[in-house]
Amino acid sequence: MIALNKPLTPDLSTLTNYLTQVNDSGWYTNFGPLHELLTQRLEQYLGVKNLLLVSNGTLAIQVACKALNINSAITTPFSFVATTSSLLWQGIETAFCDIDAESYNLCPLSLDKALSQDEHYEGIVATHVYGNPCDVESLAKVADKYNKKIVYDAAHAFGVKVGGESVLNFGDASTLSFHATKVFHTIEGGAIVFKHKADYEKAKQLINFGIQVDGSLGEAGINAKLNEYQCAVGLTLLDQMESVIRHRASLFNHYRTELKSITEIKLPDWHLGANFNGAYMPIYISDIDRQESIITALKNNNIQCRRYFTPSLDVAYSQQKSFGCGNSQSIAGGIICLPLHNFMSVEDVLVVTYVIKGIL
């Protein structure tokens, strides 16, 4: 079988070394030594500052918005459900505006139009969907024009750069998920990268119940800390990341080369000057019968695939305001993600694309 995804497996002897250190010190959580080491190593690897580890990518969005005082936001309808559900759970007034039909990311023109109609939203929450960077330059111009804060959901964008700069350095904050299914993981986990040190400091208190550095109580917080055993997994896997991303990106490139000439398949336009991290392999097919035939043929050949992301979140959460999300609804109606993970080979990619070519 060719699986859709397979989590990275930490090398057990390296992991055991780290876990032994934790057992010897008896320091299992609350910003322990491995937490500090993983923070430093991730900041260095990703080329960022003010990185705060948290217990998952959903809380990362919630804490980022709380730290930035975002109580109302315009967001993308084309993302994993957590991009929206995290906002709703946080009691944030949420509205949707459309994506760009080519990149599948939040459309700067639609955003400008939405804000020109209703300026009261405090924040913008946009996803670098499938690891493809948003048009960060144009979104920054819109945010500046209306004086809004931007949070990027970068759950798919580990290791992605735009013009040599980490994509996590755009916006007021970027959030990451380190779920087991992601390019890099700590089983469950995540991080927030803040532009400003003061926001990082505030968030660090918020994820520890709101307890301040001097032990007094500040604004009410939550518990969103990452523990030492999970940091041990992260430190172990970080050693492999360069080769993992190189391999995933090469599989992604092979897919694109094999599929680009098939007129019935549309591939998202990638941000110019950005590298691939090979997080996902989405294809779009508008014809519903063709979609079904491909899904059935892949299944008959023991190949997993997934309609991802569907439904468009403005449809799922139709009680929230929408500024019109036609592009998102049509992309969500035709998107299929093909297998892509570190344990696949180029031959596996050729098998998957051979089955698809047999149908189209």
Ligand X SMILES: Cc1ncc(COP(=O)(O)O)c(C=O)c1O
CB 155 within 8 A of CB 16: no
Beta partners for 338?
A: 281
| Identity of the residue, 184 or 284, whose beta carbon is nearer to ligand X in the bound complex | 184
Element (H, E) at 248: helix 241-259
Question: How many angstroms from the chain centroid is the CA of residue 191?
Answer: 11
User: By CB under 6 A, is residue 224 in contact with ligand X?
Assistant: no
79 is a contact residue toward ligand X (CB under 6 A)? yes
CB of 156 to ligand X, least distance (A): 6
Closest separation between CB of residue 52 and ligand X, Å?
Answer: 14
Task: Give me the least distance between CB of 82 and ligand X, in Å please.
Answer: 4
Strands lying side by side in the sheet with 149-153? 51-54, 190-194, 173-177, 149-153, 123-127, 72-75, 93-96, 321-322
Pair 255, 231: CB distance under 8 Å = no
Please state whether the peptide bond connecting residue 309 to the residue before it is cis, i.e. omega within 30 degrees of 0: yes
Would you say 60 or 111 has its CB closer to ligand X? 60
38, 51, 82, 139: residue in contact with ligand X (rule CB under 6 A): 82
Nearer CB in complex with ligand X: 25/181: 181
Instruction: Give residues 44-73 in contact with ligand X (rule: CB under 6 A).
Output: 56-58
Provide, rounded to whole angstroms, the least separation between the CB of residue 334 and ligand X. Answer: 19
User: Which positions from 294 through 353 interact with ligand X, judged by CB under 6 A?
Assistant: none
Q: How far is CA 29 from the centre of its chain?
A: 25
CA distance linking residue 250 with residue 305, whole number of Å: 19
Closer residue to ligand X, CB minimum distance, 157 or 251: 157
Q: 151 with 123: CB under 8 angstroms?
A: yes
Residue choice 77, 108, 190, 221 for contact with ligand X (CB under 6 A): 190
Give, rounded to a whole angstrom, the gap between the first and last alpha carbons of the chain.
22
Q: By CB under 6 A, how many residues form the interface with ligand X?
A: 14
Q: How far is the CB of 222 from ligand X (least distance, A)?
A: 14
Q: Which stretch binds ligand X (CB under 6 A): 9-17, 149-157, 284-292, 316-324?
A: 149-157
**With respect to ligand X, which residue has the nearer C-beta, 10 or 57?**
57
In the complex, least distance from residue 75 CB atom to ligand X, rounded to whole angstroms: 11
Residue from 78, 80, 104, 255 touching ligand X (CB under 6 A): that is: 80
- The least distance separating ligand X from the CB of residue 79, rounded to whole angstroms, comes to 5
Q: Rule CB under 6 A: say whether 153 interacts with ligand X.
A: yes
Find the binder of ligand X among 4, 124, 155, 237 (CB under 6 A): 155
CA 323 – CA 334 distance, rounded (Å): 22
- Give 55 or 169: the residue with its C-beta nearer to ligand X: 55
The DSSP code for 226 is: P
Q: Which amino acid is at 276?
A: F
Closest CB 86 distance from ligand X, rounded Å:
7
Mask: binding to ligand X, 162-181, rule CB under 6 A, as x and -? ---------------x-x--
**Shortest Cβ 271–ligand X spacing (Å):** 16
Note every long-range contact of 285-291, with CB atoms under 8 Å and residues 24 or more positions apart, other chains counting: 285/334, 285/336, 286/330, 286/334, 287/334, 288/333, 288/334, 290/264, 290/359, 290/360, 291/334, 291/336
Applying CB under 6 A, which of residues 62, 90, 127, 186 lies at the interface with ligand X? 127
- Whole-angstrom CA distances from 300 to 142, 255, 258, 338, 347 are 47, 20, 21, 15, 18
| Binding region for ligand X (CB under 6 A) | 56-58, 79-80, 82-83, 127, 153, 155-156, 177, 179, 190
